[in-house]
Amino acid sequence: MDIKALDLPGVLLLTPRRFADKRGYFFESYSEKAFHTAGITAKFVQDNQSYSAERGTIRGLHFQKPPRAQAKLVRVLQGSVFDVAVDVRAGSPHYGRWAGATLTAEGREQILVPRGFAHAFCTLEPDTVVAYKVDDFYAPETESGLIWNDPDLAIQWPVPAASVVLSDKDLKLGRFAEFVSPFTYEGS
């Protein structure tokens, strides 16, 4: 597995090795052993999947607050996305900074989003399917987020703002300037 650190410590781009022949291909999308060897200790407990019909669908910026915070391992099963993680850990030298990467079904890329980061993705083509593992169960009483187009975060989304598709819930998320983080930076 190829592992590349993105611009924020702990946010990783992982690309599994693919074995192809005349039948097609095979790859391990997750191996606890390989992850532990790479120093990734998240123990995933739930798999989630989303389907987005339209290009320009943004889901996020989401997170669960402690004590039910989640790390996520995100990959694309069909289509492609621009995936973003934002450091929301109070006291972090990277607080409020974001890192992004393009994930495609063909490329097999995955992004590891640690606890203490808000997460979002934008679909780059119609009929996109995203799957992700989380290391704690869904707890609706702890879910929260930040508005996708917050000027203080200045995320460079790859689609025009006028064509973005959002849920009603995501339209109501708060601004970063008013955000009081429940996460604490504990060093690298």
Catalytic residue among 51, 95, 132, 138: 132
Residue indicated by tokens 């997750």: 30
35-66 residues labelled b (16+ CB within 10 A) or e (exposed) = beeeebebebeeeeeeebeebbbbbbbbbbee
Q: Cα(128)–Cα(159) distance, rounded to whole angstroms?
A: 15
185 is catalytic: no
Q: Cα(25)–Cα(70) distance, rounded to whole angstroms?
A: 31
Q: Cα(172)–Cα(110) distance, rounded to whole angstroms?
A: 28
132 is catalytic: yes
Q: Cα(39)–Cα(154) distance, rounded to whole angstroms?
A: 31
Sign of dihedral through CA atoms 156, 160, 161, 165? negative
| C-beta separation of 77 from 49 below 8 A | yes
Write the CB contacts of 86 (distance below 8 Å, at least 6 apart in sequence): 61, 96, 97, 98, 117, 118, 119, 120, 146, 153, 155
Catalytic residue among 25, 36, 62, 138: 62
User: What is the set of active-site residues?
Assistant: 62, 132
